[in-house]
Amino acid sequence: MDKYRINHLKELEAESIFVIREVAAQFENPVMLFSGGKDSIVMFHLARKAFWPAKVPFPLMHIDTGHNFPEAIEYRDRTMEETGTKCIVALVQDSINEGRVVEEKGVNASRNKLQTTTLLDAIESRKFDAAMGGGRRDEEKARAKERFFSHRDEFGQWDPKNQRPELWNIFNGRKNMGEHFRVFPISNWTEMDVWQYIYMEQIDLPSLYFTHKREVFNRDGVWLAKLPFMQLKDTEEVKELDVRCRTIGDVTCTGLTLSTANSLEDIIHEVASTRTTERGGRADDKRSESAMEDRKREGYF
């Protein structure tokens, strides 16, 4: 029966589309988180495939720290317009202005952690009962134990010891009032799968993923972009180098890779020969051994 065989990317696609459709069927008011990064771009592409020729039956939501690469915002706005999709923008700045969170101080200040409050507030005020995210299990070891359908209590917290067993392709999204689910449709994808899929489907990406000249500085072995809201230490020297993003997040904690890769083929070569994980460039994970687990417990993506 080898004629009825599909490759690993098609099988991952089929699984993810199944999960996304399951969310649309089981929840009343789901939302898909969108950051402009490659994982959420792939997830959104899968959502469009899942409901074609209808429009995606839920809105997207961007938790915006205000510390963005302009290219990512431009990409977001263009994509939403081209596909006729609604994208809610929840601003971390609003959470700061309302006194819900206090801005971190010092040169390493990041709004990454503050996003959790903005996200939970947005989920609560808009009464979303499921929020889909582009998290992958290969990213980080606490994520390796995450379910596709991840149950959150009324405080938005994750209890890793009390997760629902998930068997075959049966997903249990039943919940009590006030609780919600985080759903991770691309759980089983690796960084390589994402890039191969982008190549296979020829998906348009923000220019940041390809090599470009940029003013950068080095902090604790990580190259960061010099943008107006970045505070530099006296000893930090700004250089112009050929770089590209391996992930796109908040500028304050997105490490750039020295690279001259300017096509998807180049990037796949680069990923195949790289010896550090993509989160190795994320300053937020370096804070402690269980930094990710702690943030996830509190309600992070």
Partner 1 sequence: MSGKESGYLDMELLRFTTAGSVDDGKSTLIGRLLYDSKAIFEDQMEAIERASERSGHEDVNLALLTDGLRSEREQGITIDVAYRYFATPKRKFIIADTPGHIQYTRNMVTGASTANVALILVDARHGVLEQTLRHAFIASLLQIPHVIFCINKMDLVEYSQERYEQIKADIDAVSSKLSVKDIRFVPISALNGDNVVDRSEPMSWYDGPTLMYLLENIHISSDINHEDFRFPVQYVIRPQSAEWPDYRGYAGRVSSGDIKLGDEVTVLPSGFASKVKSIDMMNESMEVGFAPQSVSITLEDDIDISRGDMIVKTNNGRAPQNSQDIELMICWFNERALVPRGKYVIRHTSSDARCMITEVKYKMNINTLEKNEEDKSVGMNDIARVKLRSTKPLFFDSYNRNRFTGSVILVDEGTNETVAAGMII
Query: Which residues, 214 to 243, sit near partner 1 by CB under 8 A?
Result: none
Starting at the edge strand found earlier in the chain, the sheet holding 130-132 runs: 87-91, 60-64, 30-33, 130-132, 180-183, 149-152
Which of 39, 64, 193, 284 touches partner 1 (CB under 8 A)? Answer: 193
Q: Which is nearer to partner 1, 124 or 265 (CB)?
A: 265
Tell me if 9 contacts partner 1 by CB under 8 A.
Answer: yes
Q: How many CA atoms lie within 13 A of 183 on its CB side?
A: 29
DSSP-based three-state secondary structure for 147: coil
Applying CB under 8 A, which part among 59-67, 109-117, 138-146, 239-247 lies near partner 1?
Answer: 138-146
Applying CB under 8 A, which part among 94-102, 110-118, 183-191, 224-232 lies near partner 1?
Answer: 183-191
Which of 83, 188, 218, 262 touches partner 1 (CB under 8 A)? Answer: 188
Tell me if 258 contacts partner 1 by CB under 8 A.
Answer: no
Residues numbered 20-79 forming contacts with partner 1, rule: CB under 8 A: 21-22, 24-25, 48-55
CB of 194 to partner 1, least distance (A): 12
Closest CA to 300 of 108, 105, 160: 160
Tell me if 161 contacts partner 1 by CB under 8 A.
Answer: yes
User: Does an H or E element contain 32, and which?
Assistant: strand 30-33
Tell me if 262 contacts partner 1 by CB under 8 A.
Answer: no
Burial of 271-301, coded b for 16+ CB within 10 Å and e otherwise, reads: beeeeeebbebbbbbbbeeebbbebbeebbb
CB of 269 to partner 1, least distance (A): 7
Q: Which is nearer to partner 1, 90 or 264 (CB)?
A: 264
Sign of the torsion angle spanned by Cα atoms 52, 57, 58, 62: positive
Total residues at interface with partner 1 (CB under 8 A) = 71
Applying CB under 8 A, which part among 112-120, 211-219, 240-248, 285-293 lies near partner 1?
Answer: 285-293
Distance (Å, whole) CA 191 – CA 208: 17
- Between helices 38-51 and 70-83, what is the axis angle to 10°? 0
Distance (Å, whole) CA 123 – CA 3: 45
Which of 29, 97, 260, 276 touches partner 1 (CB under 8 A)? Answer: 276
CB of 94 to partner 1, least distance (A): 33
Q: Which is nearer to partner 1, 13 or 39 (CB)?
A: 13
Closest CA to 206 of 56, 17, 84, 40: 40
Tell me if 196 contacts partner 1 by CB under 8 A.
Answer: yes
